[in-house]
Amino acid sequence: MIEISPETVAQLLYLVHTDPEELQEALGELRPPDIAEALKELPPEAAAKVMAALPFDLAVQVFDEPELTRHRCAIIQHIDPRRVGLLIEAMSSDQRADLFREVEEKDRIRLLATVSEPTRVNLRKLLKYPTSTAGGIMTTEFVSVPSDWTVHQALALISEVGGRKETVYAVYVVDPKSEALVHVVSLRELITAPREENVMDIGSRRPPLTVTPDTDREDAARLISKYNLLAIPVVDAYHHMLGIVTVDDVIDTLVEEQTEEVQRFGGMEALDAPYMEISFLGMIRKRAGWLCALFISEMLTATAMQRFEGEIERAAVLAMFIPLVMSSGGNSGSQATSLVIRALSLQEVRLRDWWRIAMREVPTGLVLGAILGLIGFVRIVLWQEMGIFDYGPHAFLLAVAVGLALVGIVAFGSFAGSMLPFMLKRIGFDPASASAPFVATLVDVTGLVIYFTVAFAVLHGTLL
Amino acid sequence: MIEISPETVAQLLYLVHTDPEELQEALGELRPPDIAEALKELPPEAAAKVMAALPFDLAVQVFDEPELTRHRCAIIQHIDPRRVGLLIEAMSSDQRADLFREVEEKDRIRLLATVSEPTRVNLRKLLKYPTSTAGGIMTTEFVSVPSDWTVHQALALISEVGGRKETVYAVYVVDPKSEALVHVVSLRELITAPREENVMDIGSRRPPLTVTPDTDREDAARLISKYNLLAIPVVDAYHHMLGIVTVDDVIDTLVEEQTEEVQRFGGMEALDAPYMEISFLGMIRKRAGWLCALFISEMLTATAMQRFEGEIERAAVLAMFIPLVMSSGGNSGSQATSLVIRALSLQEVRLRDWWRIAMREVPTGLVLGAILGLIGFVRIVLWQEMGIFDYGPHAFLLAVAVGLALVGIVAFGSFAGSMLPFMLKRIGFDPASASAPFVATLVDVTGLVIYFTVAFAVLHGTLL
């Protein structure tokens, strides 16, 4: 396992300025993704010199690494313009489109002038699609053959173009007249088939699985993962091949979606950039919006508390358990929410299953609430009996009130936490992006009302 | 896009009991993963009948689907024992090992008797490794050739065995004497190379990337993803090939890890099973432990509140903002935690970077706190001035106290939330599994102390 250490980066930086030959030798031992990782750590000028020291083929591979996305624009400024044109021309089409997405307007025009007309057309085609769609992550390099070819012809074509195409492991068979996609064969099926057979006669007889350029990239990823594909074809309304989404893209998509899910779950906008690379102001912007929205909706707790001011004045001891009771509701709500969000995104449950979930969450919440209620009850009685704290003459009733309130609050938390993702999804929101923090607010406010209502019922005539 | 609808499942169930021929026809239109999905919904007896109606090759493919894992044992009970032996024999080795991991002790012995001696040896080898390791998810089907072979010989071997091996897209070259892995070539490199060349002379000259069977499966996944591999070889101490981990396994691993991360983030143990499949008691067990642990640590808030009982009795109005102030600290802590957990698991930051994070989070927290503090201040002054609620003669000072406390609490939340994952990782815990809920507790307790301390300083001599 090779990992780029700060020492390797420092050594490269040193060699850039001293010994070009030794630099080449040091680079020769690294794989393209490792070189890309090192380039991210170098100042753009030094990174450009490293790129210049690489053999062209390797330079293209390094430049094609998706993790370099955010750095390519800066590095390009320091590379000889003629070499830049060649590099861009040789990149894979999806990474090239990403580069043009990142680059500034004025540089875009200059860069477009360095590439050939077919590449420009290709770029224009790819840049139409947002990166959240299959069209936005597809590559236009793939192998396709007419449906009247033999296995031998197809294999011969692959041996010839194989070095250039992003994936040769699936061959797309198109009708010679309509140019529509009619069949997909894997290289594995080709290589084990008799050479003189027609490509249409090998592989599965089912119509090929396809997506459109507007398909959500997550759905494309799910299909590739479910059907164990190495790539899925992207077709237009006439079933013409536009490109393919490969399994590499799926992995990148999964990792990115996971990051977004975790960040949204933490109650903020997705950063869309590595933590250390985002600016201070950018960070504030991504976090302040949600934090303010939550703060303003949490103000409802203050409004709720105002209604119970009298109770608190009469029995300050009640206030002591507010944080405990509130947080328990929040915790049970957060468990339920995370379970349901995940089950929804894995499609283990669908929208119409909401009542099946409710039927599970309410009893689960009641049992969990009873466990916590019992612990809370014992805690108060024990502290009172052991003389650790004096809750006053009605300590036992207070313990009953806290215990009962916990049952209600935890059960409500589980119920609300599990239902909110369904509601958000029903009205067209992404459940992952809002559920967790909103559940907390909802459960906090309701929890206070439950707590004081139960306390009033139990302690009326004694403490209250 | 084909999805299994309840109607399809109902139709299959009907055909199982009525028309075997039409059943075969209906199945012929489905892909193996779709049939597997339908089998999960059927009672085991009906699923077994569907399996019997499938052509053997297709039955093996369906049985190989990872999503059937939890159902295979039940289905097997209803299949003709001779066919069970053949099925198990024909499964891919990693899925076969999974089946034996799930099956009960008494069935295991019976099933072992149905397979051949080589398969038994293979099973014994694979079952040694836990499923969290590369050994636990590897398959033993791969293509290997001696290092003195030519490209032509290697391609001929692939065309011959290609139909049986899980992946033929990488060929592992071993030394004929020591049997150690010395080189890896992709099928793409083979097919584009001159036929008479030696396999050692094509492809990259770098030593092959490998993992050991004890490598964490997440690390194997990360390598495959980083280096865009279709599979990574698993070798022992003598560099002998034990098996390969394929890109399919990586996707499954990523999705599973993502589920665990979300569930742990929600403050519970990972379910390790789909939501609808876990028993009621299992669900309680997975959730109650964490909920109780959090409840007991949240009791510290009650202890903290007891110390401020006097203040609350003198100024009940202070209690009104407890939920608001606490939740803001929790929200900012949860943002910081989710960011850092994710950055750590993507290896964007390492343990030694903790101070760089702290240097970002403290100013970020102060700015965010100032924003919330200002909103809080304005809210109280406005409500007072507009006569919506009467906070008493010292409303302005109360607003100052709440505003200042928010700055401190939000800043502390960001700081504590970002540092806790580092601390947990440092002492050997998985940061994802505990950070989020513990941050909430830590920030709740500290938040109360900050709130009352600030309130005391600002309101001393007036309200307090």
For B300, other C-beta atoms within 10 Å of its C-beta total 17
> Which of A226, A303, A441 best tests the B interface by mutation, with the highest count of B CBs <10 A?
A226
Q: Is the pLDDT of residue B199 over 90?
A: yes
pLDDT at A3: 60
Side chain identity, residue B39: L
Which helix (H) or strand (E) segment holds residue B171: the answer is strand B170-174
Non-local CB neighbours of B314 within 8 Å, separated by 6+ positions? B463, B464
Q: Is the pLDDT of residue B1 over 50?
A: no
CB contacts, 8 Å: B360 with chain A: 280, 283
Please tell me the distance from the alpha carbon of residue B225 to that of residue A68, in angstroms, as a whole number: 15
By the 8 A CB rule, do B145 and B176 touch?
A: no
Put simply, the answer to whether B323 touches A341 (Cβ < 8 Å) is no
- What is the nearest CA distance from A156 to chain B, expressed in angstroms? 9
Put simply, the answer to whether A265 touches B267 (Cβ < 8 Å) is no
Q: Which residues of chain A have pLDDT under 70?
A: 1-3, 165-166, 433-434
Instruction: Kindly give the pairing relationship between strand A241-246 and strand B143-146.
Output: unpaired
Put simply, the answer to whether A348 touches B275 (Cβ < 8 Å) is yes
The CA distances from residue B202 to B127, B191, B230, in Å, are 36, 11, 18
Report CA Rg, chain B. Answer: 31
- What is the nearest CA distance from A176 to chain B, expressed in angstroms? 25
CB contacts, 8 Å: B436 with chain A: 266
Put simply, the answer to whether A254 touches B259 (Cβ < 8 Å) is no
Put simply, the answer to whether B327 touches A251 (Cβ < 8 Å) is no
B185 forms bridges with which residues in the sheet? B171
The CA distances from residue A257 to A34, A223, A369, B269, B326, in Å, are 24, 16, 33, 22, 30
Report which listed range, A160-174, B145-159, B415-429, B431-445, is most confident. Answer: B145-159
The CA distances from residue B221 to A262, B211, B338, in Å, are 19, 10, 22
- What is the nearest CA distance from B331 to chain A, expressed in angstroms? 7
CA B433 to chain CA centroid, Å, is 11
Which residue in B254, B295, B337 is closest to A372 by CB distance?
B295
Nearest to B306 by CA among A205, A251, A56, A379: A379
For A288, other C-beta atoms within 10 Å of its C-beta total 18
Put simply, the answer to whether A275 touches B444 (Cβ < 8 Å) is no
SS3 readout for B380-434: HHHHHHCCCCCCCCCHHHHHHHHHHHHHHHHHHHHHHHHHHHHHHHHCCCCHHHH
Put simply, the answer to whether B262 touches A225 (Cβ < 8 Å) is no
pLDDT at B353: 87
Q: Is the pLDDT of residue B253 over 90?
A: no
pLDDT in tens, B10-63: 888 888 788 878 888 888 888 888 899 888 888 899 899 889 888 898 899 999
pLDDT at B2: 45
Put simply, the answer to whether B294 touches A371 (Cβ < 8 Å) is no
Which segment of B49-63, B68-82, B250-264 scores lowest on mean pLDDT?
B250-264
Please tell me the distance from the alpha carbon of residue B100 to that of residue B109, in angstroms, as a whole number: 10
Please tell me the distance from the alpha carbon of residue B26 to that of residue A236, in angstroms, as a whole number: 29
pLDDT at B434: 66
pLDDT at A433: 66
- What is the nearest CA distance from A70 to chain B, expressed in angstroms? 14
Please tell me the distance from the alpha carbon of residue B435 to that of residue B423, in angstroms, as a whole number: 10
SS3 readout for B174-208: ECCCCCEEEEEEEHHHHHHCCCCCEHHHCCCCCCC
Report which listed range, A349-353, A420-424, B236-240, B439-443, is most confident. Answer: B236-240
pLDDT at B431: 75
CB contacts, 8 Å: A312 with chain B: 312, 316, 319-320
CB contacts, 8 Å: A387 with chain B: none
Length of chain B: 464
Put simply, the answer to whether B187 touches A192 (Cβ < 8 Å) is no
Which residue in A163, A316, A340 is closest to B192 by CB distance?
A163
CB contacts, 8 Å: B262 with chain A: 261-262, 265, 338, 341-342
CB contacts, 8 Å: B340 with chain A: 275
In A, minimum Cα distance to B166 occurs at A188
Its ipTM equals: 0.80
Full-model pTM = 0.81
> Which of B160, B258, B383, B418 best tests the A interface by mutation, with the highest count of A CBs <10 A?
B258
Report CA Rg, chain A. Answer: 31
User: What's the order of all strands across the beta sheet hosting B181-186?
Assistant: B143-146, B170-174, B181-186
Put simply, the answer to whether A29 touches B206 (Cβ < 8 Å) is yes
Q: Is the pLDDT of residue B101 over 50?
A: yes
pLDDT in tens, A196-234: 999 999 988 889 999 999 999 988 988 998 888 889 999
Pseudo-torsion of CA A129, A130, A131, A132, nearest 10°? -120
pLDDT in tens, A241-297: 999 999 888 888 888 888 887 787 777 777 777 887 888 888 888 888 888 888 888
> Which of A41, A188, A246 best tests the B interface by mutation, with the highest count of B CBs <10 A?
A188
**Structural domains present in chain B:** 6-128 (1.25.60.10), 143-253 (3.10.580.10), 275-459 (1.10.357.20)
> Mean of the per-residue pLDDT values for chain B?
88
